[in-house]
Chains A and B, each alone.
Chain A
Amino acid sequence: MSDNHEQHEHMNIPKYLAIFGILVVGTIATYFAATIDLDWIFPGANTLLALGIAFTKTACVMLFFMHVYWSPKLIWLSALASFFWLAIMFSYTMQDYFTRSLGVFSS
C-alpha cells in the first residue's frame, strides 16, 4: 500500500524544478522540431517525433508530479491499462480503415 507520509520525502523543490525544466525544454523542442521538414526520413517522421516528446513529457508529469513512481502497483496498472485500452481502440478501428477498399466516389 502506498505510504503517503513518506511520499513527499521523495520529491523536493529542486527536483520539482528539474522536472519543470524538462517539460519546458520539451515544449520548446516540440515547437521547433515541428518547423523542420523531416519527411526526408519517412513521411510522418515529424508526427512521430512530436508524439515521442509528448509521451516523454507525459511520463514526467505522471511519474513525478502525480507521484506514480512511488505509488502502489495498482496505480501503475491503471495508468498503463488506460493507455493500453486506448491502443486497442485505435488499432482495431484503424485496421478497418487501412484495409478497406476505398469505394468512395464522392465525399
Chain B
Amino acid sequence: MQTSSWVPLFPEQASTFAWQVDALYAYLIVISIAFTIPIVAAIFFFAIKYREKEKFATPEEMHGSIVLETVWSIIPFVISMTIFLGGAIVYYNQFRVPDDSMDVYVVGKQWMWKLQHGTGQREINELHVPVGRNVKLTMTTEDTLHDFSIPAFRTKADVVPGRYTYIWFNATKPGKYHLFCAEYCGLNHSGMGGYVYVMEQRDFDNWLSGTESGQTPVEAGKDLFENKLGCASCHAGGADQRGAKLEGIFNKDVKLVGGQSVVADEAYIRNSILNPSSQVVEGFQPIMPTFKGQVTEEQLVSLVAYIKSLSGVTGTTTSSAATPAAANTSTHSNTAGNANTPASSNK
C-alpha cells in the first residue's frame, strides 16, 4: 500500500498469486459492469419512455415468456460457474503449500503476533522475509481467534486455538507491507498488527545476523515499546488498558500483589520485562508473557531508558544493576516451543 496516488485503489501486488486474485477481481468487475449497465440503462429507458401519460391508465397486458426466463436463468448460471472455477483455481494456488518452503511459526496472542523463524530468530509484530522464497507460516494462537492477514500478498487465514492453520506466500517485491489481524479478537484488535518486510536475500542475511540501529536508546526503546514488542497494546491506551500504567512510575513506590512494595528502579523494570510474574503490581492479573530470550540486553537498555523517559527522567545512564557484564551479547534464543504450545495444562 505504498501507492503515492491521492486515493489508492488497489493494494500492491507483492506475492506470486496476487495477480491471480486481481485478475479474478477484474473479471468479476467486468461481469458486474456487463450486467449493471444494460439493466440500469433498461430501467432508465423504460422509466422515461413509458412514464405515466395519463393517470390510472391500463397499459397493454403482457404475458411472461418461458424462453426469456430460461435464457436469463441459464446465462447467469453459466457465468457463475466460470466464477466458481476461477475462484477454485486461485484458492488451490493459495493453499497448496510448496514443499521447499522456509518455515516461520506464528503465535497470535491478545494483541500481538509472535513469530519465530525456522532458524530461531524471534520477532514480534514484524516479519522479515527474503524476496523470491516460498515462505510457509504455521500458525496458532494462545487465546482467542485471530486472523493473519497480509493484503499485499492477498492471503489470510484464521488462527484457531488448539490447532495449526497454514498459509504460504512467495514475496515478489521488496518493501514494507501491512500485517493485520482480521478476525475480531477483543479490546485492541485494531492495534494487533505490524509490518511485513520483504528484503533482498543479502539484506535478509544481514538482518539475520544482527540488527543495526542508528537510534538513541530512548527512540529505540520507544520503537520497541510501541511497535516491535507490542508493549503498548497493554501498557498504553488509557483507563481500560490491561497492564500497569507506566507513566511517572520511575523511582516511585509500587505496591505488589501480596502486600509488599518496591521502588520502581531500573532493576525492577528490567526484572518485570524478563520475569513478569515474579513481581505483579497490585490490581493486575499475572498475564504478561515473559520476554526472556526475545529482547537483547541492548534492547532492554533501550526499553528501560524509554520507560524512564515516560516519567520525565532523561539521560541514558544505566545503573549497574540493570546492566550485567554480558550486556552486549546478543541472546537470540533457539529454544522453539514454549510459545507454540497453548495453555493446555489447566486440568
Q: Which B residues lie within 8 Å of A106 (CB)?
A: 162, 341-342, 344
Interface string of A72-107 (1 = CB under 8 A from B): 000000000000000000000000000000011111
Q: How far is the CA of A82 from the CA of B165 in the complex (A)?
A: 35
Task: Report the interface size class on chain A.
Answer: under 10
Q: How far is the CA of A107 from the CA of B140 in the complex (A)?
A: 13
**Chain B contact residues: over half helix, strand or loop, or mixed?**
loop
How many residue-residue contacts, CB under 8 A, span A and B? 17
Task: Report the interface size class on chain B.
Answer: under 10
Question: Distance (Å) between the CB of A55 and the closest chain B CB?
Answer: 35
For B162, the closest partner residue in chain A by CB is: A107
Question: Distance (Å) between the CB of A96 and the closest chain B CB?
Answer: 13
Interface string of B307-347 (1 = CB under 8 A from A): 00000000000000000000000000000000001101000
For B164, the closest partner residue in chain A by CB is: A103
Interface string of B149-181 (1 = CB under 8 A from A): 000000000000011111000000000000000
For B345, the closest partner residue in chain A by CB is: A106
Q: How far is the CA of A105 from the CA of B163 in the complex (A)?
A: 6
Question: Distance (Å) between the CB of A97 and the closest chain B CB?
Answer: 13
Q: Which A residues lie within 8 Å of B165 (CB)?
A: 103
Q: Which A residues lie within 8 Å of B162 (CB)?
A: 104-107
Q: How far is the CA of A107 from the CA of B344 in the complex (A)?
A: 7
Q: How far is the CA of A105 from the CA of B105 in the complex (A)?
A: 14
Q: Which A residues lie within 8 Å of B140 (CB)?
A: 105
Q: Which of A104, A105, A107: most chain B CB closer than 10 A?
A: A105
Scan residues 235-260 of chain B and give those whose CB is less than 8 A from a CB of chain A.
none
Q: Which A residues lie within 8 Å of B341 (CB)?
A: 105-106
Could you tell me which A residues sit within 8 Å of B by CB distance?
103-107
Q: Apart from A103-B164, A105-B163, A105-B164, list 14 A-B contacts with CB within 8 A.
A: A103-B163, A103-B165, A103-B166, A104-B162, A104-B163, A105-B140, A105-B162, A105-B341, A106-B162, A106-B341, A106-B342, A106-B344, A107-B162, A107-B344
10 residue pairs of the A-B complex, CB under 8 angstroms, read A103-B163, A103-B165, A103-B166, A105-B162, A105-B163, A105-B164, A105-B341, A106-B162, A106-B341, A107-B162
